[in-house]
Amino acid sequence: MNTPSPNKNALISKLIFGAIVIGILAYLVTREPNRDPVKDGPKDKKKKVIPRGSSKLWFGIRADKGPVDGVTQKSVGVTVLDVIEGSPASSAGLTPDDLILEFNGKKLSGPRELAKLMDAIGAGKPIKVKVKRADQLVFLNVRLESGGSQQILKNSVKLGAEFIAARQNEDGSFNHFHLTKERSPAVTALLTWALAVSVDQADQDSLARDALEAGIEKLRSWIDDDGGIDTSGWDIGHRSYGTACAILAFRAHDPLKNNEEIDQLTKFLLANQVDESHGYDPVDWRYGAFPYYESMESNQLRTDISTLSYVVQALDAAKVDPSHVVWRRIGLWLDETQNYALLGETEAIRKKERLYRDGGFAFSPRNSKVTSPPESVLNMSFYPSYGTATADGLRSLVIVDGSATHKRALAALQWLARNYGFGAVPSLPADGPTPWGEALFFYYTHSWARALTSAKVARIIKIDENKEEVAHHWPAELTRELARRQRKDGSWKNTSPLMGEDNPMIATAFALLALDATKEAMAMTDVVSIRALPVQSPPTWKDEVLEAPSQDPLLRGLQVYKAKACAACHKDGVAFKGPSLLGVADRFIKKFKTPADARSYMKKHIRNAKEYPGTTPFKGEEMFAYSESALSGPELEDLVTFLLTRKGKRPVSKALMPGQLEVLDSELGDKLFQKHNCVTCHKEDAHGPLLAGVGTRYIEAYGTANAAREALAKHIRNPEKYPSLRKARRSGPKMTTYTEANLSNEDLADIVAYLMKLPQ
């Protein structure tokens, strides 16, 4: 998804949790097509940036450190684990288990030293290699070739895909990662996706190609009536995961086909978002995400960043319209999950809080795998950031916002850059009873590789242990790291059983997906680098200002309502810490006679509720007095503008964005339908189509109630561009085009709500 919608760039949630606009800090991410910061060096000529991992030379071995010398206690040589067929190493006569002692006359202590020597020598030159084979010394001659990382990647992918293909069931399915004799739809979707991104499109006769086609057919057979992947019979079917991976498998299998299957699967995901249709409003911390389990019951509903990230990638692959409300809801949840802005009211709290607001992500707004229960400081709970969550959050942010240049994405990028490396997952324990850091290695590798590729970052510049700036070309480094970890049968495997990666099918799938992202990164033309910097001072939520302030005071007013967390006290339809604000405009105008007088009094009430009480008696906490420092004059004007549009049953705390079709009141819509004389053209003896059952027809045509409402709204706005599902019954005047000048977004939403409820 390349074009973010205007609404998406003003997510309500960015005002709930706040984020001061401190600029994009262009020096953090440098995009310079005509200047390579690794080749040309940094702009600060006093510093030297050391390139690492960018070798494009092809040797063709998988290697590890040699044995430790008993006297010096240091590694000696490079142990050859495997030799790639057709490579320069193979042509020279190297074999597995050889110990390379010297390369071009230089003694070796490990693979990194070998890589540096290769870079220094270059391609095409004859090189003498001293090898210990069993108890004999062997001298070989080799000539390095160009294309190193690409060749290593290609070979690793081929071997990994063949490993998966050889273990497919006859019906095209794959087995569960724990219950190894049970066929699993979700695992089948994951492994078929891994095959789809790995099989060469020109290779029509390989085992991996046959397995891919069989997997695709099996996934087709598992699409249920509601559009999701059928996981019936499983207590934990991973249905959101499975459906998302199936979309990604179908899209990667053939980018131009499988649209019918993708549309069906997408319909399920869109209907499966945690939102108002399932009884959840934006105040609920799970709102906007997707369920891990099958149930939407509150006591069983779990949402997390991992599930969401795969769904986001799938919806992007399905080409869901950037203006669709699903993206805005996702953005709301992402903002609440990221450790970005300071939420504390006092400096004492914020001083402690700064330790946690590092730009990374937690598992959810109420959970982190770093610590359980959450860490608390002065009655505030904190959910620390860690690697897999931050990578998942970044790749989701890039899709939702349309780029990685937004300040929140930059903060997450910085977190990953500071923690770049190939050890355990950053900030997670690598040992103990729950060694998440070790158990999630391959999952993390895929997620951060995809995140960096989506952000178009090819190099990470950071200070190493010698206090030197090193430019890591991560695609090359990751390719070599995964090749080093690949086993002789072509698979990858984790030593920890905690997260299923001890099953080589799962680990291999994630490794192949990581290499797919790596391959894409290698092909990027722009030079994009990120320089790892210390954690920047996080903004406070009160300092939030819009990057592109809306010209619509109604929209600004809603944003103020959300930013000041009014919904924390006012719930629609029920008394909570404050009265419900449904119909607040009707009550104020009725009491004060004119809109102008109602506006004047409402402003006084918000400034000082004790002296100017509201129109609804309420026994409870006294309303906060919003002084000029807490609520500026322009903010107050915009807030009152918003509240005075809340007539009838129009939502207040549940309102998402003005003009979006969740802002509904069907009773008011009925009155507006009459007011605009719509009945004149749509009654029994008129020429326009009858509207009985129109909502049902649109749902059948567009799949979901949300999609149906949006289609109806587009038709009313522009009937020529978006014609009705039914033609006019006889000739007559064309339908009026209702622009915002003669029908506001609010009124349009209410009319659509009325039409959707019309019986057959």
SS (HEC) of 480-509: HHHHHHCCCCCCCCCCCCCCCCCCHHHHHH
Give the mean pLDDT of 26-45: 34
Query: What is the pLDDT of the chain when averaged over all its residues?
Result: 82
Judge whether residue 352 has pLDDT over 70: yes
- Residue 734 confidence (pLDDT) above 70: yes
What would the pLDDT profile of 429-478 be if each residue is shown by its tens digit? 888 778 889 999 999 999 999 999 999 998 898 887 777 888 888 998 89
Sheet strands side by side (includes 49-52): 29-31, 528-531, 459-463, 469-473, 49-52
Residue 35 has pLDDT above 50, yes or no: no
**pLDDT at residue 103 above 70?**
yes
Contact 387, 427 (CB under 8 A): yes
Stretch among 127-131, 337-341, 434-438, 745-749 having the lowest mean pLDDT: 745-749
Report the SS3 class of residue 448: helix
- CA–CA separation, 573 vs 581, rounded Å? 8
Higher pLDDT, 249 or 706: 249
Is the preceding peptide bond at 595 cis, omega within 30 degrees of 0?
Answer: no
Q: How confident is the model at residue 10 (pLDDT cuts 50, 70, 90)?
A: very low
Q: 78 near 99, Cβ under 8 Å?
A: yes
Q: What pLDDT score was predicted for residue 39? A: 34
Q: In whole angstroms, give the CA distance from residue 571 to residue 565.
A: 11
Q: Which residue has the higher pLDDT, 685 or 62?
A: 62
Element (H, E) at 102: strand 99-103
Mean pLDDT of 54-80: 83
Distance CA 509, CA 506 (A): 5
Question: Is residue 688 scored above 80 in pLDDT?
Answer: no
Q: Give me the torsion for CA of 179, 182, 187, 189, rounded to 10°.
A: 180
Q: How many residues does the chain have?
A: 760
pLDDT (average), residues 215-221: 96
CB 137 within 8 Å of CB 129:
no
| pLDDT cut 90: percent of the chain above it | 40
Q: Give the Cα separation of 714 and 123 in Å (integer).
A: 61
- Across 2-11, 50-59, 559-568, 606-615, which has the greatest mean pLDDT? 606-615
Position 201 scores a pLDDT of 57
Residue 65: strand pairing partners: 78
Distance CA 39, CA 58 (A): 20
In this predicted structure, which of 297-311, 534-548, 562-576, 600-614 has the lowest mean pLDDT? 534-548
Instruction: Please choose, from the candidates 434, 175, 186, 386, the residue with its C-alpha nearest in 3D space to the C-alpha of residue 293.
Output: 186
Beta strands 528-531 and 29-31, pairing class: antiparallel
Q: Which of 207-221, 561-575, 615-629 has the highest mean pLDDT?
A: 207-221
pLDDT at 533: 80
CA distance 620 to 422: 55
For residue 333, name the pLDDT band (cuts at 50, 70, 90). Answer: very high
More confident residue, 657 or 384: 384
507 near 438, Cβ under 8 Å?
no
DSSP code of residue 538: P
- The Cα–Cα gap between 659 and 280 comes to 20
Q: Does the pLDDT value for residue 229 go beyond 70?
A: yes
Q: Please check the confidence at residue 347 and state whether its pLDDT lies above 60.
A: yes
Q: Is the pLDDT of residue 24 over 90?
A: no
Of 747, 739, 582, 743, which is closest to residue 666 (Cα–Cα)?
747
Is residue 5 within 8 Å of 325, Cβ to Cβ?
no
Strands (E), 703-753: none
Is 140 exposed, middle or buried (CB count within 10 Å of its CB: 0-12, 13-18, 19+)?
middle
Alpha carbon distances (Å) from 402 to 6, 173, 312, 316, 394: 11, 35, 12, 10, 12
The answer to whether 301 and 286 are in contact (CB under 8 A) is: yes
**Looking at residue 325, what is its pLDDT?**
86
Cα separation, 511 vs 156, in Å, equals 9
pLDDT, tens only, 160-198: 999 999 999 999 999 987 766 688 999 999 999 999 999
What pLDDT shows up at residue 100? Answer: 95
Q: For residue 159, give every residue at least 6 positions away whose Cβ sits within 8 Å of its Cβ, in sequence order, or none.
A: 486, 490
Which of 332-341, 517-526, 623-632 shows the lowest per-residue confidence on average (mean pLDDT)? 623-632
CA pair distance 521, 54, nearest whole angstrom:
12
What secondary structure letter does DSSP report for 566? G
Please say if the pLDDT value at position 204 is more than 70: no
| 3-state class (DSSP) for residue 522 | helix
Distance CA 305, CA 360 (A): 12
Q: Tell me how crowded residue 104 is: count the other CB atoms within 10 A of its CB.
A: 15
Number of alpha carbons in the 13 Å side-chain half-sphere of residue 754: 21
pLDDT tens profile 529-578: 888 888 877 776 544 433 344 556 677 788 788 777 787 788 878 887 88
